[in-house]
């Protein structure tokens, strides 16, 4: 759940005409009333740090997967959603680096069968070349709903229709949503209070022959996960 406060001011020059005093001012109250409050978190921190990867570890002719053996933190996270009462909710994604997605990362840098809709941006090099992409997959073996076995359901039309998630892919589309139910429930959002969902991340870098390797290139992926109430 998000909320914001914006303060706006404008400064104007003085003119020869006499200024008019303001006789009224408007005060606007905004906000949102929700049935419950839900908190979303990533256990162990919200950062995956691959540390320093030498260009020599990457292929110059094909995309290269970034693996845990290259160093850095383990690209596995557990997302939790905890509500103060059972509620129907979903999680939507925002790729803050969407313009930097490079589908060339599919050519060897990411698991076979990965679709372009799964790609999230990984940043650019000093010459404004998109350096690759990453994907996030939900682990069906690392999932609990209200402390018991559960399943993930997904919607591609902003929550109008739902289906069981078959492979756990998280899609980078504006209308994609994920939610959770007990295993035996139908593919429709169910009021639940807690969800624990394991996530795995896989990143791929395009061939170094297509990159500006005269300087260090930072990996700069940034995704926002947001709870929305249904």
Per residue in 82-109, pLDDT tens? 999 999 999 999 999 999 999 999 999 9
Predicted structure pTM score:
0.84
Are 166 and 187 spatial neighbours (Cβ–Cβ below 8 Å)? no
3-state secondary structure of 89: strand
Domain residue spans in the chain? 38-229
Would you place residue 74 in the very low, low, confident or very high pLDDT band (cuts 50, 70, 90)? low
pLDDT at position 45 is 86
Looking at the predicted structure, is the pLDDT value of residue 121 above 60?
Answer: yes
| Dihedral angle over CA of 171, 172, 175, 178, nearest 10 | 40
Give the helix, strand, coil percentages of the chain, each rounded to 5: 10, 35, 55
Q: Which of 13-22, 35-44, 78-87, 133-142 has the lowest mean pLDDT?
A: 13-22
Name the pLDDT band for 7 (thresholds 50, 70, 90). very low
What local confidence, expressed as pLDDT, does residue 73 receive?
A: 66
Pair 178, 138: CB distance under 8 Å: yes
Give yes or no for a contact between 187 and 155, defined as CB atoms under 8 angstroms apart: no
Q: What is the mean pLDDT of the chain?
A: 89
Helix (H/G/I), strand (E/B), else coil: 139: strand
- Per-residue pLDDT at 58 exceeds 90: yes
């Amino acid at each position: 759940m998000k909320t914001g406060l914006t303060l706006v001011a404008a400064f104007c020059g003085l003119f020869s005409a006499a200024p008019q005093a303001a006789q009224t001012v408007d005060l606007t109250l905004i906000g949102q009333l929700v049935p419950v409050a839900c908190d979303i978190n990533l256990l162990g921190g919200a950062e995956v740090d691959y540390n320093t990867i030498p260009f020599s570890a990457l292929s110059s002719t094909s995309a290269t997967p970034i693996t845990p053996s290259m160093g850095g933190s383990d690209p596995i996270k557990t997302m939790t959603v905890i509500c103060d009462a059972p509620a129907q909710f979903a999680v939507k994604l925002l790729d803050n680096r969407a313009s930097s997605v490079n589908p060339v990362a599919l050519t060897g840098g990411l698991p076979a069968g990965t679709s372009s809709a799964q790609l999230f941006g990984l940043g650019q090099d000093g010459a404004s070349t998109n350096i690759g992409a990453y994907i996030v997959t939900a682990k069906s073996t690392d999932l609990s709903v209200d402390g018991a076995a559960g399943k993930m359901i997904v919607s591609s039309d902003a929550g109008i229709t739902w289906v069981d998630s078959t492979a756990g892919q998280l899609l980078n589309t504006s209308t994609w949503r994920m939610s959770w139910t007990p295993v035996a429930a139908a593919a429709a959002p169910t009021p639940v209070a807690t969800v624990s969902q394991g996530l795995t991340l896989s990143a791929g870098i395009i061939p170094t022959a297509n990159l500006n390797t005269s300087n260090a290139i930072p990996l700069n992926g940034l995704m926002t996960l947001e709870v929305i109430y249904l």
